[in-house]
């Protein structure tokens, strides 16, 4: 989901060449996993949510005896949301700490930077949050437990056409974000396929604060729905300014919107908007209800989407270890690839041939300052 410019490709190739390619087997009393997350920096909120989800899942698994008779131990590294730091962190965890697998990272650019190192070392790397389509294309040791951008963009178009009943749509995209551009392209293709018309597209850059010119342009060519594949920081400002301009379109977003801070920053300007994402605490499934209760008990708060994705990722890894029958990196890779119908708080996970999770998306609608569950969809 979080995609910045990749600056560490050369370093990744160099470091990847230095790691051992022999299968790693866990030694000692614990099975060590490495987690690379943005624990400081601009997207630290997502990293800390991920850490909470990982820790909760590990605590639950260890309380029930662990995996293969051993407790799980997670070593955390902070990549600050910087691809170069991800590369270094992955290399350290593999070469120095001898972890069996890597969890993370959050930003797609970071995961793409660290993945070549893990893949060269034949150490499985599993991301819960990196949705860029290219991530798992790095190699056969790279997995993800979330859906991908092209699916998310197409699903957003389905929501626009079939749930919102829009005939026309406009887009507001971040010109420097591969995440935003990729979602926009997938949305456009699917919306047209469904018989819709794109009436306009405007762009902005991350950290912009004034969107009046873009919104005024869209107001001149009204659309039933305006799709904004961006992050909540800019989206909140866009929604507030759109309300001031009295734009009557329905606003639609993707998982970059799905954070409680959107509601804090946008206030009532977010009411009536729709979000396509991975998870809803309002879903009445045993897995969701279990997670919500566990979070309230441990953290005294409800789980955000990144919490839930990270939590499920650990259970996917633990399930694969059990099926592998040994704490071996090659056996774990093969078992991960064979994951099928594993139920979690973010849906049922089945790994497809590209090592991406084949799962439904969740549609939310903001009403009365709350994100409310609409339905689970898979166009």
Q: In which band, very low, low, confident or very high, does the pLDDT at 285 lie, cut at 50, 70 and 90?
A: very high
84-106 b/e (C-beta count within 10 Å ≥ 16 → b): bbbbbbbbbbbeeebbbbbbbbb
pLDDT for 42 equals 81
Q: Is the pLDDT of residue 9 over 50?
A: no
pLDDT band at 115 (very low <50, low <70, confident <90, very high): very high
More confident: 345 or 14: 345
Residue closest to 127 by CA, chosen among 2, 256, 255, 20: 2
Please give the radius of gyration of the chain, using alpha carbons only, rounded to the nearest integer: 20
pLDDT of residue 345: 97
Assess contact for 6 and 70: CB atoms under 8 A. Answer: no
Is the pLDDT score of 64 beyond 70?
yes
pLDDT at 55 over 50: yes
Residues 329-339 have a mean pLDDT of: 98
pLDDT value of residue 23 = 64
pLDDT tens-digit readout, 175-211: 988 889 999 999 999 999 999 999 999 999 988 999 9
Mean pLDDT of the chain: 92
On the question of a common fold for 9-147+286-359 and 150-277, the answer reads yes
Higher pLDDT, 10 or 24: 24
Per-domain boundaries in the chain: 9-147+286-359, 150-277
Q: Across residues 230-244, what is the average pLDDT?
A: 95
Confidence of residue 25 (pLDDT cuts 50, 70, 90): low
23 Cβ contact partners less than 8 Å away, ≥ 6 residues apart: 122, 328, 329, 330, 331
The domain defined by 9-147+286-359 folds into Rossmann fold (3.40.50)
Domain 150-277 has CATH 3.40.47.10: no
Structure confidence at residue 26 (pLDDT): 58
The predicted structure's pLDDT at residue 6: 41
Contacts of 353 (CB under 8 A, 6+ apart): none
pLDDT on residue 124:
98
């Amino acid at each position: 989901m979080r995609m910045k410019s990749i600056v560490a490709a050369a370093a990744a190739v160099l470091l990847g060449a230095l790691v051992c390619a022999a299968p790693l087997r866990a030694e000692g009393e614990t099975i060590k996993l490495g987690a690379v997350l943005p624990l400081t920096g601009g997207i630290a909120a997502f990293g800390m949510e991920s850490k909470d989800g990982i820790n909760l899942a590990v605590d639950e698994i260890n309380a029930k005896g662990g995996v293969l008779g051993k407790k799980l131990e997670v070593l955390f590294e902070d990549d600050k949301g910087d691809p170069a730091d991800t590369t270094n962190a992955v290399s350290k965890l593999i070469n120095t700490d001898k972890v069996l697998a890597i969890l993370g990272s959050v930003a797609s650019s970071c995961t793409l930077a660290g993945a070549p190192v893990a893949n060269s070392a034949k150490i499985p790397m599993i991301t819960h949050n990196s949705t860029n389509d290219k991530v798992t294309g790095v190699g056969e040791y790279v997995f993800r437990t979330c859906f991908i951008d092209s699916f998310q963009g197409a699903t957003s178009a389905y929501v626009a056409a079939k749930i919102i009943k829009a005939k026309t749509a406009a887009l507001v995209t971040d010109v420097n974000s591969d995440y935003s551009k990729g979602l926009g392209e997938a949305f456009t293709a699917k919306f047209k396929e469904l018989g819709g018309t794109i009436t306009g597209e405007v762009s902005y850059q991350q950290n912009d604060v004034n969107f009046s010119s873009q919104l005024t342009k869209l107001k001149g060519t009204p659309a039933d729905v305006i799709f904004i594949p961006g992050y909540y920081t800019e989206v909140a400002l866009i929604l507030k300014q759109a309300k001031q301009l009295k734009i009557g379109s329905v606003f639609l977003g993707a998982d970059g919107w799905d954070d409680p801070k959107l509601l804090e920053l946008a206030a009532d300007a977010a009411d009536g908007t729709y979000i396509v994402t991975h998870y809803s605490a309002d879903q009445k499934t045993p897995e969701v209800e279990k997670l919500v209760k566990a979070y309230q008990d441990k953290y005294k708060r409800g789980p955000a989407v990144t919490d839930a994705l990270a939590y499920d990722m650990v259970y996917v890894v633990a399930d694969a270890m059990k099926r592998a029958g040994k704490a071996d990196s090659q056996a774990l890779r093969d078992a991960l690839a064979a994951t099928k119908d594993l139920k979690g708080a973010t849906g049922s996970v089945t790994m497809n041939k590209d090592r991406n999770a084949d799962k439904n998306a969740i549609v939310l609608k903001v009403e009365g300052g709350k994100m409310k569950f609409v339905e689970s969809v898979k166009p």
